[in-house]
Structures are given as C-alpha cells and as structure tokens.
Amino acid sequence: MPLSVVILAAGQGKRMNSDLPKVLQLLAGKPLLQHVIDTARQLDPADLYVVYGHGGAQVQSAFTHERLQWVLQAEQLGTGHAVMQAMNLIPDDHTVLVLYGDVPLVSAACLGELIHNADSGALALLTVKLPDATGYGRILRRADGAVTGIVEQKDATPEQASIREANSGLLAVRAAMLREWLLGLKADNAAREYYLTDVVTAAASSQVPIRPIAVAHPFEVLGVNDRLQLARAESAYRSERAEELMIAGATLADPTRIDVRGEVTVERDVFIDVGAVFIGRVHLGSRVKVGPYCVIRDARLGSDTEVKANCVIEDAVVGDNCRIGPFARLRPGTVLRADVHVGNFVEVKNSVVGPGSKVNHLSYVGDATVGAHVNVGAGTITCNYDGVNKSATVIEDGAFIGSGTMLVAPVRIGAGATIGAGSTITQPAADGQLTLARARQITVADWRRPTKKP
C-alpha cells in the first residue's frame, strides 16, 4: 500500500530559549528534523509532508536540498488539527504514518512494524513503558487488555496518571479512516486543542483493531523540548553509535567519550581512543588506531594506519600503514599513499604524497605532488599562493628537502635532488644534484642592539 509520511514540525520550542525553531536544533551535527526525514526516507514513502508553523521560513530554507511537501499550520490548535492540514493532499488508499520533528531517534525498523500493522487495517500505535510517564499521554485499556483510548497528562485523573504505559504520539493508519476520525475531533479538553490521540477512541468505537506496539528502546521516542532533553538525546545517540562500532569490530577506550556525527564504518581490530569526533562519512580500515582528541571528517583511512593525538583530518584519503601526528592537519584534497609519515605540526592541503615519503616536522605542503620516498625537512613550506592565484609544486621521487626551505611555486624539484637547508627555491632543481639558494653570511662589526630611549 502506498505510504504518506506526515511530520509535525510546527512547534515553537519556547523552552529552548533560542532564536532557532526547535526542529532546527542540532543533534549529532544535524537538525532534529533532518534525523526524522532521513529515517522516513528509509521507508520509501510516496510523499513526505512537513507541517510547519513557527519559524516556517527558516525551517523551509534549511531543507531546500530535500524533496518535501510543505503544509502550513497557521494556527496552533493541536496535533489533530496539524495532521488535518496535510490530509487534504493525501489519497484515501494510502497508509499514513505520523511522525514528530522533535522525536529524532526512532528507528526505521520500529516504524516498519507500525506500517505493516496499519496496512492490514489496524490503527497502529507506538507505545513505551516508563518508570515515570509524566508529560506523556497514558494508554487506557479494558480489563482484557484491549486499548480503549489515550488520556493526556492535563486531563488525566490521579489513577490514570499512575499508568506507566505512555503514548509516543507516533501512529500509522489508512488515510480514509484517519480522515473520517479527524473530522469528528472536538476540542473539549483542558488545552482546548484538537488532540490526535482522540482518534484512538474513535477507532475503538468503530471496531477497528488497535495494535499497540511497544518500542524496544525508550530513547527511540524521546521528545526534545528543551536543552536538557537535547543533551539526553545526544547521549543516547552517542551510545547507540558506540555500540554499533564495537559490534563491527572496534575497541573504544571509553564508549561514553566518542562522538559520531555521521556514518562511520570500521573493519576489524580498530582502536579509538577517548575524545575522538567523527563527522560525515568516515571509513577506518583494519587495525587503524585513532589517538585521543582527533577530529576526522569525510575521510578514508587505510589498514594499519595510526593517527596520533590531536589531529584534524578532513576530506582526505589516507593509504595503508601511514603515521599521522600528533598535532597534524590534513585538509581537503589530501591523498597520502601507503607508508607515508606526516608528523607533528604539519599541514597538508590539496596534495598527493607518494608512498614511503615523510613530512615529519613543522611544515606546510599545499597544492603539491610529492613523489615516492621523498624526505621533507622541518620547517619546509610550499609557497603556493601569491595573493591571487594558487600554483603547484612538484617534488619528484627520492628528493631530499633540507630544513627551513621555501619552495616558491610554480616549481619542480627533480628526482633524487637535494635541496640545502635554508634555501629559497624559485627555479627548477635538477635531478640528482645539490641545489642551494642562500644569501652570503656576514658579520657586521661594531653593531649594537638598539636600546630604549630614556
């Protein structure tokens, strides 16, 4: 049966005390609403409707990259009213799945079970058992266990408020039935709102099967209304990603001190130390070691590579058996072939460094092609920018660059060439030869250091 997904994202989020709409608050580096959209996409919906209200222009502009149907809820008259705004666009023969833009951690597997039950003609509800369900609607059941309705916290009697089984708000049902029940909603409650939860009572009255599905992990239905709840969601997300990495073959020095803000894949026997942050798409080959407090974004690291403490790697490809850091930075466009060493306080940008080459200390390599088995001495800089244009440096196989060398691009260093320490090279250096470019050293007699005037 075709699926339409409705995401409710109209809330203002006053408790966030923020200029950002609530659904744009960041969780693991991306907006809450983006998490919900990404999960919904896994279900292959025919259409995805986002009901917006407060901060609508901000919300829409943040998702221009997504194919979405935007539905305005001009007045905030409750969740039932919000869903009603989208129903005018949804065909009767669709199944409707209702999600919330501030409930970001629900799994596609859990939602798939809801949809399966709804396709069979039932009203499927996602429920959760909590030690303290304060703030949630409670699931009402008959003595035989059948669900008869949901009562909101504001309207619950003391006895009902003691119920631990709570409503997550997420549900799935056929569009024709949902439309009929929504048209019958009344705002006769403490909040004077049209509650989506009242369709449960309507379903029971219509003899439609109600299938409550208990979520496996309560954090999946954790709503985010303030920054405390946002922090709890971040912690839950971090824990889930850490478990996935460990199951896949990584050892984490401390699973509570790792941040995964994207998609990280690992091969066997990877080790990740504390404080590592992974952003975007990252792949770690077998036996990779990531030292403490590294930041790795959109990168691929080959097997047996070690990244020592406090390195930053972004948009880079690193070959097998490389050694990086500590305190090294690989900027976008960097490619390190196998067995490369990039040492402390070295920055590499938009460059290819050939196999077996070393750039070990206090150097900058930018817009360069470095051959195999090259040694770049401490304090070497490829001077690639003249204030307007970038130019390339080529260092051929086997070259040796002495410490403190300035390579003024565009320039070529020949195969097997040696550059004397302290040189400024502006012309091509011949293959296999020693090239020097130093000013003559002199001593100035009777020179005195300047002193402060009295």
User: pTM score, two decimals?
Assistant: 0.89
Reported confidence tier of residue 154, pLDDT bands at 50, 70, 90: confident
What CA–CA distances, in Å, run from 327 to 198, 317, 362? 58, 18, 10
101, 9 Cβ separation under 8 angstroms: yes
Q: Which of 192-201, 268-277, 332-341, 421-430 has the lowest mean pLDDT?
A: 192-201
116 among known catalytic residues: no
- pLDDT of the residue at 11: 82
- pLDDT of the residue at 427: 97
Take residue 203 and report the two structure tokens written for it.
């379903």
Q: Which domains does the chain have, with CATH numbers?
A: 3-221 (3.90.550.10), 241-435 (2.160.10.10)
The answer, yes or no, to whether residue 55 has pLDDT greater than 80, is no
Which of these is catalytic: 54, 116, 283, 361? 361
Give the pLDDT confidence of 87-142 residue by residue, as tens digits.
999 999 999 999 999 999 999 999 999 999 999 999 999 999 998 888 889 999 99
Give the pLDDT confidence of 200-240 residue by residue, as tens digits.
999 999 999 999 999 989 999 999 999 999 999 999 999 99
- pLDDT of the residue at 13: 83
Mean pLDDT of the chain: 95
